[in-house]
Amino acid sequence: MYPALISVAELATRQAQQQPLIILDARARLNDADAGQALWHEGHIPGAFHTDMDRDLSAPASARHGRHPLPAKEAFATRLREWGITADDRVVVYDDNGGRLAAARAWWLLRWAGHPAVQVLDGGWQAWLAAGQPIQTDTPLAKASDWQPHFDDTLIASANDAAAGEALLLDARAAERYRGEAEPLDPKAGHIPGARNVPGSSLLQEDHTFLPAAQLQQQLPAAENVIAYCGSGISACQLILGYAQLERPLPRLYPGSWSAWSNDPQRPVATGDE
């Protein structure tokens, strides 16, 4: 596997050398389903395909499966082929939230699909602009592939797995949502009992790049059996990306996350700090 992150300098060099790359622009806004495509139309890294958080990286929302369920395997595989992705391509994904909103989700989905060479652009869109790199508004041409992904469901945890008490649960939401002081999106406020709060923002520096390894190690507890969750299975992927950057065993993702858990009246809710 390649390193989990790629720097702007390395990506720019690979583009200048015309090395084979597939770039995915995963910018999105939770409160505006069309914002990502609008941002992409305004300008994107040359060659980048728009990757929609709701339509490409998720299935339709439901109370049972949460606000951003995993896409159906064949639907996602078809989309990957439409972008021209094969197992031999290096894929780079970026957003403008340090990976917290959709870039890490796209990275995780590609890992789930068995892709061996997917990376997140460290610092994302802001870092690309700050470095004075070129942008374009043209729509790139894709040459469809015939890749057949092999999905690894061992990367997924269920609600029952999260409830079993055998894994270290990490909640990637903001602290006030974890403690139950605020809940703007889901039916109940609080967290899964026993979960530890590691907000996705705590893994980033002010410029949206990841913390240096020594600081990242302090934020992410070392354990063999870890399950990551958040509001709807999006930002939890950033915690998993952090573990990958440290070359530690990857946590499993609970895709339904709090949006599914809090819709189930059988599931207990904890509040405050643990």
**Active-site residue list:** 230
Cβ partners under 8 Å of residue 170, min gap 6? 195, 196, 197, 198, 220, 221, 226, 227, 228, 229, 236, 239, 251
Sheet order of strands, 226-229 included = 196-197, 168-171, 226-229, 252-253
Residue for token digits 């690309």? 128
DSSP 204: B
Indicate the burial class of 92 (C-beta count within 10 angstroms; 0-12, 13-18, 19 or more): buried
E strand map for 20-111: 21-25, 48-50, 90-94
